[in-house]
Structure 1
Amino acid sequence: MIEWYKIAMFQNYSNFSGRARRSEYWYFRLATAVIFFVFIALAIIVSIIGGGFLGFPVAIGLIALYSLIALIPSLAVTVRRMHDLGKSGWNVLISFIPLVGPIWFLVLLATEGEHGENYYGPDPKSTMEEIDEIGINN
Structure 2
Amino acid sequence: MHWYLTVLKKYAVLNGRAQRMEYWMFTLFDTLFTVLSFVVGTLFGNLLSESELPSGLGFGTLLCYLFVVLMPKLSVTVRRLHDTGRSALWLFIGLIPGIGTLVMFVLMVLDGEPGVNEYGPNPKVAPSV
TM range (shorter): 0.7 to 0.9
Task: Decide which of 15, 33, 36 is 1:17's aligned counterpart.
Answer: 15
The aligned residue for residue 66 of structure 2 is 67
Check whether the contact 1:114–1:123 (CA below 8 A) recurs between aligned residues.
yes
Amino acid of the structure 2 residue aligned with 1:70: V
Give, in whole Å, the separation in 2 of the partners of 1:103 and 1:73.
21
Check whether the contact 2:42–2:56 (CA below 8 A) recurs between aligned residues.
no
Matched residue count = 125
More helix by share: 1
Task: Decide which of 31, 35, 38 is 1:37's aligned counterpart.
Answer: 35
Please report the RMSD computed on the Cα atoms of aligned residues, expressed in angstroms.
1.9
Check whether the contact 2:4–2:25 (CA below 8 A) recurs between aligned residues.
yes
The superposition leaves residues 75-101 of structure 1 with CA deviations (integer Å, 9 ceiling, x where unpaired) of 000000000000001101111112211
The aligned residue for residue 136 of structure 1 is none
Q: What displacement does 1:105 show?
A: 1.1
Q: What displacement does 1:40 show?
A: 2.4
The aligned residue for residue 52 of structure 1 is 52
The superposition leaves residues 50-84 of structure 1 with CA deviations (integer Å, 9 ceiling, x where unpaired) of 57345x42221111111111111110000000000
User: What TM-score does the superposition give when structure 1 sets the normalisation length?
Assistant: 0.82
Closer, same or farther in 2 for the Cα pair 1:63/1:126, shift >3 Å? same
Closer, same or farther in 2 for the Cα pair 1:49/1:69, shift >3 Å? closer
Q: What displacement does 1:43 show?
A: 3.7
User: What TM-score does the superposition give when structure 2 sets the normalisation length?
Assistant: 0.87
Give, in whole Å, the separation in 2 of the partners of 1:57 and 1:82.
36
The aligned residue for residue 90 of structure 2 is 91
Q: Once the two structures are aligned, what percentage of the paired residues are identical?
A: 33
Q: Unaligned regions of 5+ residues in structure 1, if any?
A: 129-138
Check whether the contact 1:47–1:53 (CA below 8 A) recurs between aligned residues.
no
Q: Secondary structure at the match of 1:16?
A: coil
Check whether the contact 2:19–2:124 (CA below 8 A) recurs between aligned residues.
yes
Moved more, 101-110 or 77-86: 101-110
Q: What displacement does 1:49 show?
A: 4.6
Q: Unaligned regions of 5+ residues in structure 2, if any?
A: none
Q: Secondary structure at the match of 2:56?
A: helix
